[in-house]
Amino acid sequence: MLSATKTCSLIKERRISTTEALEEVLGRIRDREEDLHCYITLDEEGARQQAKLIQSRIDDGSLKGPLAGAVVAVKDNICVRDLPATCGSKMLAGFIPPYDATVTEKLRDAGCIIIGKTNMDEFAMGSTCENSYFGPTKNPYDTSRVTGGSSGGSAAAVAAGEAMIALGSDTGGSIRLPAACCGVVGLKPTYGRVSRYGLIAYASGLDQIGPMGRSVEDCGEMLSLLSGADSRDATSRQWEAVDTGAALGRGVKGLTVGLAEDYLSLCPDEEAKNAVLEAAEKLRDAGAAVEHFSLGYEKYVVPIYYILADAQASSNLERYDGIKYGYRTPFEEGQDFGQLMARSRGEGFGGEVKRRILVGSFVLSAGWYDAYYKKALAAQALLRRCFDEAFSKYDLILMPAAPSVAPKLGVYKDDIIGAYRGDVFTVTANLAQLPAMSIPAGVNHDGLPLAVQLMADRFREDLLLAAGAELEKRGGHENDEGI
Ligand code: GLN
């Protein structure tokens, strides 16, 4: 199976139709979905209708974009009108949004076929996709392993050919980590580049929607499509659009790359570490100047992230009270308002979500606000300064994307802190509002995907695409076949 942009070129050249391309994806779904469980909702019939309509718009010349005809999977925390949006939670099971997210409107305008909603950790809280109320998604490379989270359904769907490309959301790594575990490219844009309108909030100051694809080009084209200011999201920004074609052809000659040694040393897996060193070599061979440096704050970023993210989550999730909307506990005679709310929340939320609401409420409470939340905000500002300093010297920062290959299912069941610790490589980009990309870097001795991560300064996604394309060309495989 080809990448999304390559398939769309064939459609434009009239060598295949949108319906034929869609049927190939549906065939993959028939073969693999039962084992993998990438989707919470599949809309086969809707997709078939969209394919016909899009074909006619391509035929009459009104649709010309690089992703016209692409079959896209959308993470289940992004609203698609008339399709359920569960957020992987019992709390929202049965919720059908009557409106489209801004990114969904953009997909429709560009002629993408929305095939369904993908599985995820409940409210995007997790690193394995095992926290979903609907059960875990399995890794297409080895179904005894997790996909990484929280956008695990999107990553697995793209890797297995159950979609050509997908949307995920990234609050602390949820695009990049599952992309790394499933051997696909995952791009978290600069905070503000893509509208969050219609994205069900986890931690609003960190959340960002982005693409997951089988090639750097696919992610670049999808990024261009999604970008832009939106009057419905006050934090969105109009910025110079990324010229994907130019970025992909730029190469890395003359660029400076800083390899964050302090973060690399935290990587417990030798093969994952070597993948980063090899990527540095490849970039050097391609004409970049690579230097080792210490970014700083590596011991603090996970605590900072979990204080800020949980605090924001506790506030965002307050709205699910069983009254306004969301799951409501069955009626009981004599039950007062407080009991109704407590029971609805108790029954509707899973364990991890409750843990985070408790931690978040605690760090925001009058007695502890200064000691935790305020301190974490100050530390976040210091981390941003470390990045400012680094980007005054380097165009790109290179570091691991994940601590290891995809772990076995259940490994983190009783090791919550272990799972949190694994986020050390990804949360920095969210805390500093930077764009970052996870790029496949071959496979380990067991044939499981390895990956590396690149970061750039705010709104410099073009540099990520340039370096990502270079690494892809030099053997960090383009997953054209799917697995
Ligand atoms: N693993 C992180 C968490 O559980 C990141 C999640 C995300 O990016 N949505 O918070």
Peptide bond into 150 cis (omega under 30): yes
What pLDDT does residue 422 have?
96
Atom 5 in ligand 1: residue holding the nearest Cα:
172
Residue pair 29/42 in contact by the 8 Å Cβ criterion: yes
From 3, 17, 75, 438, the catalytic residue: 75
Distance from C-alpha of 93 to C-alpha of 470, rounded to nearest angstrom? 43
pLDDT cut 70: percent of the chain above it: 98
Q: Atom of ligand 1 at shortest distance to CA of 175?
A: 8
Secondary structure class of 436 (helix, strand, coil): strand
What pLDDT digit, counting tens, does each position of 452-478 carry?
A: 999 999 999 999 999 999 999 998 555
Q: Please state, rounded to an integer, the average pLDDT across all residues of the chain.
A: 96
Question: From the CA of 355, how far away is ligand 1's center (Å)?
Answer: 14
Q: Is 174 noted as a catalytic residue in this protein?
A: yes
Distance from C-alpha of 310 to C-alpha of 78, rounded to nearest angstrom? 20
Distance from C-alpha of 230 to C-alpha of 134, rounded to nearest angstrom? 32
Question: From the CA of 101, how far away is ligand 1's center (Å)?
Answer: 21
Distance from C-alpha of 53 to C-alpha of 74, rounded to nearest angstrom? 20
Give the mean pLDDT of 40-53: 98
Please state which of the four CATH numbers 3.20.20.70, 2.40.110.10, 3.90.1300.10, 3.40.50.2300 is assigned to the domain occupying 4-251+402-409+433-475.
3.90.1300.10
Does the pLDDT at position 191 exceed 90? Answer: yes
Q: Is 265 exposed, middle or buried (0-12, 13-18, 19+ CB in 10 A)?
A: exposed
Angle at 483 between CA 214 and CA 449, to 5 degrees: 70
Cα–Cα distances (Å) from 395 to 306, 318, 333, 390, 454, in that order, read: 28, 40, 64, 9, 10
Question: From the CA of 393, how far away is ligand 1's center (Å)?
Answer: 29
From 3, 17, 127, 150, the catalytic residue: 150
Q: Cα 63 to chain center, whole Å?
A: 27
Global model pTM greater than 0.95: yes
Residue pair 67/113 in contact by the 8 Å Cβ criterion: no
Ligand 1 close to Cβ of residue 131 (< 6 A)? no
Q: Is 150 noted as a catalytic residue in this protein?
A: yes
Number of neighbours of residue 436 by Cβ within 10 angstroms? 29
Ligand 1 close to Cβ of residue 127 (< 6 A)? yes
Q: Is 154 noted as a catalytic residue in this protein?
A: no
Instruction: List strand residue ranges (DSSP E) for 89-140, in order.
Output: 113-118, 138-139
Question: From the CA of 126, how far away is ligand 1's center (Å)?
Answer: 5
Q: Atom of ligand 1 at shortest distance to CA of 206?
A: 8
Give the mean pLDDT of 131-152: 98
